[in-house]
Structure 1
């Protein structure tokens, strides 16, 4: 029985953000030899306010968008004859539409800014909904992203010892192998390691012990993926302070940052609290969120 490779799904609306995401998606799908499914959400908005000027009939808007998608697909097929390109214009809310369209996908790609159905992706609930409910990794591409031109591409992954971090590490090494890149495993710590000395109540902070244990955690976390990808070089970084700030700093020179949806330690609540918002708003390169 012939099996078809799972597609990569991109949310597209013609905005600069979605165009940057499309460029990234085309390159990634090409390397993986995977189909590319371009999805646009078409949400009907009903208003009781008078609309200034001429009102375009709904079906005319739908036809124009369908034609735009068809022209885009034809252009991509011409430029990338080996790439299998599919398009879908789906009625409904943006997050629900994309999550449903990606049920059989290997990856979902989004731009960090959008128009229409993808508007407010990173400042409202849509990003949280997609990253929470999508059954595959989600990549968010900054709207002004320009691919790095460095000699050695870099994939950065947040490590905290959780099962979600383990999945992120596997994904990071897969992407690094595809990109012929190295992996930098980042483990940030903010709380001192507390020990009792001679049974006294005095607590002391042993920074060397903290670093040794952090290095051991990273080494044990990465060991399996490194063994499966022996040609991918990797290094660790053990910064103190905010995990979000560490990832944003690395994103300035990275090709991809990878995190898990949940975690503990420095990466707790990465997608649900202020750390996740900081990374999503300020990352300089694409960020992959792995379930």
Structure 2
């Protein structure tokens, strides 16, 4: 029996952010030999007060947007002849529409901000809702992202020893292999004791020992993915301080940052942990949130 590869789903609304997301998704679909499914939400807005001027019939709006999607798909088929391109103009709220459309997907991609539809990185926005509730990895493309031009692409991943981090590491190595990139595994650590205001520790601790434990944690976390992807080079970074801030700093020169939905030290009831929220709001490059 022939099995079809899972599609990459892209949330599109015509905004510059969604155009950048579409370019990223099309390239990823080409590398993975996966179908590309372009999804646009069509949400009916009811106006309760009189509106002057000509009112465009609803069906005319729907037809115009479907024609736009068809033209976009035809263009992509020419640019990516090996990619099967599908489109869907689906009625409903943007976040729910995209989450539902991605239930059988390998990946869902959207821009960080759109035309009031797919995106915007304020808490409660579509991008945050999708990253929290999608059943597959979600990649969010910053609205001002420009592809890197330097040699040696880099995928950065947060590593904290949790099961969510393990999934993020597997995803990061998969992406690095397809991009011919290196992986940087980041594990931030802090002093195990409270400190006085001047920075002196209230209790003595062995910083070298703590750093060595962090190094071993990263090595153990990466071991499985490293064995499965022997051609992907990787290094670790063990900064002190905030994990979110460390990942944001790396995003200034990275091609992709990968985080799990939650990690150690978070509240298990949250669908997206504080580190993921921090990076999602401040990243300078595409971020993948892996469930």
Q: TM-score, normalised by structure 1?
A: 0.92
Provide the aligned length of Structure 1 versus Structure 2.
283
SS at match of 2:236: strand
**1:279 and 1:65 mapped to 2: Cα distance?**
33
Structure 2 equivalent of residue 162 of structure 1: 162
- Gap change, CA 1:267 and 1:84, over 3 Å in 2: farther
Q: Deviations over 1:89-129 (max 9, x none)?
A: 00001111011100110000010110142253544342332
Structure 1 equivalent of residue 18 of structure 2: 18
Q: Deviations over 1:140-199 (max 9, x none)?
A: 0011211111211100000110000000000000000000100000001134269xxxxx
Structure 2 equivalent of residue 197 of structure 1: none
- How large is the RMSD of aligned CA atoms in angstroms? 1.9
- Gap change, CA 1:52 and 1:162, over 3 Å in 2: farther
Contact 1:270 1:276 in 2 (8 A): no
Please, which runs of 5 or more residues in structure 1 have no aligned partner?
Answer: 195-201
Structure 1 equivalent of residue 199 of structure 2: none
Structure 2 equivalent of residue 76 of structure 1: 76
Structure 2 equivalent of residue 189 of structure 1: 189
**2:258 and 2:166 mapped to 1: Cα distance?**
11
**2:37 and 2:191 mapped to 1: Cα distance?**
44
Contact 1:187 1:266 in 2 (8 A): no
- Gap change, CA 1:241 and 1:267, over 3 Å in 2: farther
Please, which runs of 5 or more residues in structure 2 have no aligned partner?
Answer: 195-201
Structure 1 equivalent of residue 6 of structure 2: 6
Contact 1:251 1:257 in 2 (8 A): yes
SS at match of 2:14: coil
- The answer on 1:58 being equivalent to 2:69 is no
Following superposition, the deviation at residue 267 of structure 1 comes to 11
